[in-house]
Chains A and B, each alone.
Chain A
Amino acid sequence: MDTSSDEADDWFIDSLNTYKDLHVFQLEHPTKVIEWTGDKRICVAGYTGARSEILELLLPLKLYAGDNQGLCAERDFKVQHGGFSEEPVECLIHIPETRFVVTSGGSSPALQIWDIGGDDSDVIKRTGVINPKSTSAKCGKIASGLTENPTVLHGSYTSDVQLTELATGRVLYTVGNESSDLVSGLQFVNACVFLICTSNGALLMGDIRDPLTCHYPLKESMSGLHWCFGLRTSSSQSDPSLCTIARLSSSGHMVLSDLRDLQNPFCQTQLNVQHSSAKNEFLIVSWASVLDSCLSVSGFDGTVQVYNTRNWSTEAQTPQPVFSHRGHDMSYEAKCSGSRPVVTTHAWHPSRPNTLLSAATDGSVHVWDWVDKTTDT
């Protein structure tokens, strides 16, 4: 069966120069989450059915073979552990230093706690549930606490965000905020300080030692847009002066702020993207783990765009990406099904500078190592 089109062929041929490594996989069901659970392992989970699979996958060994890469023919993912969730999985986070992940999804704010398991079994078992007292029917966003005692910060609206201790289910902290904005993301900056980004682009900064939070709305309100955020830290216990926050809107506005001065963003710009309000749920902005000043954006279409923000100034301009991953658009499955796939999520590799993983609505998962053509090295 002739499965290629000319455009796809061209792209693959070009990829010989534009990528160092490229792996294309097809999952049975699409995933909205890619979460690192170890140096070489990720978790993915289904969101399209009543019964969703959660899988822990081992990345292809060829990526880790180093100098002996030529002698390793192993290019496939290995399914290490798997489990079933009765609800679709919208969010999945890993609790560092443990084998636990926490998921949320479906039409309630309840969270599920799972034990991925060790060598003796391949089943991911649900070990607990957190039932927040919120009355909302929306599933919550989750972030892992950064203390030794495993905790999760979660909530669907700013009024119901709380910090829960995993082992006991005890609520250790609740955000004392009157307003009830929809939460688009939350994350800890260090063991005590956390950030919440609301759907309308405002940032809230809080400290678990203090019930009050500081509210930093966007200067010019752009209604009708959905915002998400990405936090860049150099380590989990970092000095706040090294934190940069990127906020991205569903029409491509990008706002960069320094944690020391959230009131006044140091850069605002407009990315060249197609606005589509239908895909707010897939909008992601993510800072590179190793490369300085690089961030990546996805959720608008079937591509992942990588930008270098170093040369962005405060004036409005349209920056060009240093790299655009078009693999999901060029896949065979996309051609067949009629509707073009949209990238649901992407993640940077924690230690390999140019390696990313991305997933799309057609069930594809790509692992790619892009070549930076803008530098001379």
Chain B
Amino acid sequence: MPEIKVTPLGAGQDVGRSCILVSIGGKNIMLDCGMHMGYNDDRRFPDFSYITQNGRLTEFLDCVIISHFHLDHCGALPYMSEMVGYDGPIYMTHPTKAICPILLEDFRKITVDKKGETNFFTAQMIKDCMKKVVPLNLHQTVQVDEELEIKAYYAGHVLGAAMVQIKVGLESVVYTGDYNMTPDRHLGAAWIDKCRPDILISESTYATTIRDSKRCRERDFLKKVHETVERGGKVLIPVFALGRAQELCILLETFWERMNLKAPIYFSTGLTEKANHYYKLFITWTNQKIRKTFVQRNMFEFKHIKAFDRAYADNPGPMVVFATPGMLHAGQSLHIFKKWAGNEKNMVIMPGYCVQGTVGHKILNGQKKLEMEGRSTLDVKLQVEYMSFSAHADAKGIMQLIRMAEPRNMLLVHGEAKKMEFLKDKIEQEFDISCFMPANGETTTVVTNPNVPVDISLNLLKREMALGGPLPDSKRPRTMHGTLIMKDNSLRLVSPEQALKELGLSEHQLRFTCRVQLHDSHSDSDTLGRIYTYLKSALKNYGVQHLPDSTVIVESIVIKVTSSPEEPNLKVILLSWSYQDEELGSFLSTLLKKGLPS
């Protein structure tokens, strides 16, 4: 039976290291290659020994697909391709290809320079890895080889995030990566057509969450900023160039306008250039509203938001500043942080996850004293706020996605099976599909039942319909006779006559003749009459006829009676039937061999 195998490679049950292996139609695909941010040793990498104990992965994998640029989905990519070894194609969308190397390099610098790690990929490895990347466009089918094709769908979540469909012949798998079903200020909602994959693979953590609305998160952000500014404090918001920054800017701009606030808002210039650059490249990835705005004016021509100058950080009074980098690990945001950290009226708002080793990570863990370069310590007295704006689907969203794609089976990764029984029941009952929950390292095998499409000839169809009644009638199944012709890549069902004609063959008939001897003193015609009466009562469900030409017909079987002049009491009953009536024919001959009732 054809089957698809799925094995999540991430260690432990926790989210943080997405790497899923799929075997379909003889092809092996790796979906995402994430790093687990909580570990410092080899546990942070996926366990590639599952693929092969030693040696390079190239011959074992047909391709690698990366869903988006978050480190828990691409952080281990350079390690996999350059340190373990893989030279095949790596697929990702254009924005992911542009942003990935930047995040990987940042991450590498922090881990190696700040934390002094040695078993880590180098800057050159990141470059070499990216050379293997083949970019994808949305909704465009890409042939990886003659049999394997892939297609990217819009996932929302972050710029460039994609859900991927992998297809070999008639079997397919869709992997969602991270996605969200409600649009936000700068990204649309995930969308997929009714592609009916054999398996839909998604994260289980979504399904057990009911997410607070976007507006309430924004409200919390505005409330905190407003309170700080009202008391004369300064707000620092470290951001990465893209995505979240734009959204928060739009939000603040609208708020400032409405409340007629006067405190200045600044955006560091490095950020502006980078952001504009990316937006120009990837305008199709954002939602309608942003596109309209961008067309009308430069992304950052806000009424209330101005370009930042290093000197402003020392200005008295309230202000809000957006600065890079996002984890406070270097550069301008760290510089400003050092200046403002000592004042409890100030606030720093971290809008996302921070990698271990960064100042951002430390303050989010409640650290109040930080060791800076030159052995100086920094007292952290300002208010630290951690806000999660990342757009994820939830329990309702997962059901919506299943409704959209109509998969035949569901597979959820990163969950504990015994704690997911309710969800499994829910999916199985609402959609009548199986739901699988493999643990890391565990392989799920799904048997697929691919449909084989066969064209039926018009003649055959007409003939069936002429027999009466609507088709198909599940209460009265009928046997249909036809011939299946497999030629080139097509399968057709045609009538036997047409098949013979096409193949240039003439039809042969096969008839069986059987002689049964019977002792009977009647005349031939009387004996025939007795046979007729007997069969008529014995075979009530069949058409038995006595014809004037001295034959008895049962369905299509012909019965004659003869006798020789020397022995008039020894009758010979001749039965003749075509091979289609073989069963009835042999039944009749056996019956008549037993003799006639007197």
Contact = CB atoms under 8 A, between A and B. Distances in A.
Nearest to B352: A73
B183 interface: yes
Of the listed residues B209, B226, B386, B388, the one surrounded by the most CB atoms of chain A closer than 10 A to its CB is B386
A122 B396 contact: no
B15 to A, nearest CB: 14
A302 interface: no
Interface in A101-136: 120-124
10 contacts: A28-B399, A51-B429, A60-B212, A78-B210, A79-B208, A81-B422, A82-B422, A83-B422, A84-B429, A122-B422
A121 B419 contact: yes
A16 B223 contact: yes
B384 A70 contact: yes
B212 A75 contact: yes
Interface string A79-99: 101111000000000000000
Contacts of B213: 23-26
Interface in A11-27: 12-13, 15-16, 22-27
B425 interface: yes
A122 B395 contact: no
Interface in B186-209: 188-189, 207-209
A298 B567 CA distance: 108
Nearest to B365: A71
A57 interface: yes
A27 B394 CA distance: 10
B386 A76 contact: no
Given A75-B216, A75-B388, A122-B420, A28 B429 contact: no
Contacts of B211: 25, 75-76
Contacts of B365: 71
Nearest to B364: A71
Of the listed residues B189, B216, B386, B421, the one surrounded by the most CB atoms of chain A closer than 10 A to its CB is B216
A84 B425 contact: yes
Contacts of A22: 216, 219
Interface of B: 183, 188-189, 207-213, 215-217, 219-220, 222-223, 226, 255, 258-259, 287-289, 364-366, 383-388, 394-396, 399, 418-423, 425-426, 429
B209 A82 contact: no
Contacts of A78: 208-210
A39 interface: no
A70 B235 CA distance: 14
Contacts of B259: 13
A3 to B, nearest CB: 8
A123 B425 contact: yes
Nearest to B390: A73
A71 B384 contact: yes
A72 B384 CA distance: 10
B394 A24 contact: no
Q: Is the interface of A mostly helix, strand, loop or mixed?
A: mixed
B383 A13 contact: no
A1 interface: yes
A68 interface: yes
A79 B212 contact: no
Of the listed residues B207, B365, B421, the one surrounded by the most CB atoms of chain A closer than 10 A to its CB is B421
B50 to A, nearest CB: 28
B396 A27 contact: yes
Contacts of B208: 78-79
Contacts of A64: none
A73 B289 contact: no
Nearest to A25: B210
Given A23-B212, A122-B422, 10 more contacts: A2-B289, A13-B222, A13-B258, A16-B223, A25-B211, A51-B429, A60-B212, A84-B426, A120-B418, A365-B210
Contact of A76 (B210, B222, B383): B210
B419 A122 contact: yes
B216 A24 contact: yes
A26 to B, nearest CB: 6
Given A1-B287, A1-B288, A16-B226, A57 B210 contact: yes
B426 A68 contact: no
Given A13-B258, A27-B396, A79 B366 contact: no
A208 to B, nearest CB: 36
A123 B425 CA distance: 9
A12 to B, nearest CB: 6
A53 interface: yes
A117 to B, nearest CB: 9
A50 B288 CA distance: 40
A77 interface: yes
A118 to B, nearest CB: 11
Interface in A148-196: none
Of the listed residues A73, A75, A122, A123, the one surrounded by the most CB atoms of chain B closer than 10 A to its CB is A73
Nearest to B226: A16
Contacts of B189: 1
A16 B222 contact: yes
Contacts of B385: 70-71
A81 B418 CA distance: 11
A71 B386 contact: yes
A223 B585 CA distance: 86
Of the listed residues A26, A68, A124, the one surrounded by the most CB atoms of chain B closer than 10 A to its CB is A26
A16 B251 CA distance: 14
Contacts of A53: 426
A122 B208 CA distance: 10
Nearest to B353: A73
B212 A76 contact: yes
B304 to A, nearest CB: 16
A121 B418 contact: yes
Nearest to A367: B212
A73 B387 contact: yes
Interface in A331-363: none
A28 B425 contact: no
A165 B118 CA distance: 67
A282 B287 CA distance: 40
Contacts of A28: 395-396, 399
A70 B383 contact: yes
Interface in A22-63: 22-28, 51, 53, 57, 60
A4 B219 CA distance: 14
A30 to B, nearest CB: 12
Contacts of B396: 26-28
B366 A122 contact: no
Contacts of A74: 388
A76 B209 contact: yes
Contacts of A51: 429
Contacts of B399: 28
A121 B388 CA distance: 29
A116 to B, nearest CB: 11
